[in-house]
């Protein structure tokens, strides 16, 4: 959520000269996404007309994104875009290259999409997000690329081990609570549900909207191959609670489920496993936030997100009536 690498405007202009994108007329470092450096560029557009207001995102990849994964993301967004999903495509230069180097970092020019990220989704917006996720899953069929989910259940075990007893510094009793939950998930995690490419991080931040319409799904840097319905569980945990996890919004959840059902739908087995998938999703964000909390100085560049906001979601899912989760 900051600009880590400063790139002189002259260098951005020289970088753009490799593309049919026009000349640079504005460059603003923007604070968004995972830990990359992002610039919002405006150019004269391919026809060289000043004031054309053509916009692009320039991303420089910092530590959290592995350069070897970039072709997977590029191919995925091409595949989804070609099938009607509103996703930001990576732009190729005149030689067909999408991956460049700039300021010593891997760097890409990416399509800019309009739309704003809502903070308090209405049920209509949650429904649109559910439908967009379903459409994404539909469009992902036939995509040949695969990427392992580093934050799957085995990944949660590894993260919990690295946090160790420090979890109890966040809240006394959190370490045994996490151990118990991992044991429960080991016993109840569904083994044979349909897999697919999933977004795996579809928070409201990563959905651009105009009114009730989705205009873009962004930030695919956690996308991977995993249990398809787990993607809906992640989205559910992100859209259906107050930020601190203390309040559950059943109407949003029902709308999210209805939107997803309309565009894609869940099998009976997926529906039956949904509570366990939600518990997994809540534990995943609890653990990554806890790890960052333990390992990030309180005054560092990155804002620490409260892990307990996801413990509250986990508590909710562990006690919830399964039927109520998707308003079925």
Q: Does 299 bind a second copy (CB under 8 A)?
A: yes
- Minimum distance, C-beta of residue 284 to a second copy, in the bound complex (Å): 23
* CA gap 245, 254 in Å, rounded: 17
Contact region with a second copy (CB under 8 A), list: 24-32, 217-225, 263-271, 272-280: 24-32
* Choice between 27 and 273, CB closer to a second copy: 27
In angstroms, what CA-CA distances link 123 with 82, 120, 239, 250, 325? Answer: 29, 10, 10, 9, 14
> β-strands 105-111, 195-198: how paired?
unpaired
**Residues 41-70 close enough to bind a second copy by CB under 8 A:** 42, 50-51, 53, 55
**Residues 104-143 close enough to bind a second copy by CB under 8 A:** 114-120
Q: Does 247 bind a second copy (CB under 8 A)?
A: no
Contact region with a second copy (CB under 8 A), list: 22-30, 90-98, 100-108, 168-176: 22-30
Of 159, 279, 290, nearest in space to 230 by CA: 279
Q: Does 265 bind a second copy (CB under 8 A)?
A: no
Q: Does 210 bind a second copy (CB under 8 A)?
A: yes
Q: Where are the alpha helices (DSSP H) in 7-122?
A: 9-16, 70-82
- Half-sphere exposure in the Cβ direction for 258 (13 Å, CA): 15
Report the C-alpha dihedral over residues 229, 234, 238, 239, rounded to 10 degrees. 0
* Choice between 104 and 297, CB closer to a second copy: 297
State in Å, rounded, how far the first CA of the chain is from the last one: 37
Interface ranges with a second copy (CB under 8 A): 1-3, 8-13, 24-32, 40, 42, 50-51, 53, 55, 114-120, 208, 210, 297, 299-301
């Amino acid at each position: 959520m900051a600009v880590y690498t400063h790139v002189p405007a002259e260098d951005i202009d020289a970088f753009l000269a490799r593309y049919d994108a026009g000349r640079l007329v504005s460059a603003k470092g923007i604070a968004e996404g995972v830990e990359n450096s992002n610039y919002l560029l405006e150019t004269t557009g391919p026809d060289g007309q000043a004031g054309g207001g053509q916009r692009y995102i320039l991303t420089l990849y910092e530590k959290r994104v592995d350069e070897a994964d970039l072709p997977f993301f590029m191919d995925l967004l091409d595949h989804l875009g070609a099938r009607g999903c509103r996703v930001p495509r990576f732009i190729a230069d005149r030689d067909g290259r999408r991956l460049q180097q700039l300021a010593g970092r891997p760097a890409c020019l990416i399509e800019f999409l309009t739309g704003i990220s809502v903070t308090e989704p209405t049920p209509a917006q949650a429904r649109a997000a559910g439908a967009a996720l379903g459409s994404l899953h539909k469009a992902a069929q036939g995509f040949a690329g695969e990427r392992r989910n580093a934050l799957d259940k085995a990944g949660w075990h590894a993260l919990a081990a690295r946090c160790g007893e420090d979890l109890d510094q966040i809240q006394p009793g959190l370490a045994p609570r996490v151990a118990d939950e991992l044991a429960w998930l080991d016993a109840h995690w569904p083994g044979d549900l349909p897999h697919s490419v999933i977004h795996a991080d579809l928070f409201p931040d990563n959905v651009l909207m105009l009114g009730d319409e989705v205009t873009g799904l962004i930030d695919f840097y956690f996308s991977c191959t995993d249990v398809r319905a787990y993607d809906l569980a992640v989205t559910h945990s992100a859209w259906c609670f107050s930020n601190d996890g203390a309040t559950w919004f059943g109407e949003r959840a029902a709308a999210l489920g209805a939107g997803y059902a309309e565009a894609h739908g869940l099998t009976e087995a997926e529906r039956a496993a949904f509570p366990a998938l939600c518990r997994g999703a809540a534990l995943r964000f609890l653990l990554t936030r806890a790890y960052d909390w333990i390992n990030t100085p309180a005054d560092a560049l990155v804002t620490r997100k409260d892990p307990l906001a996801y413990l509250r979601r986990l508590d909710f899912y562990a006690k919830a009536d399964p039927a109520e989760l998707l308003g079925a």
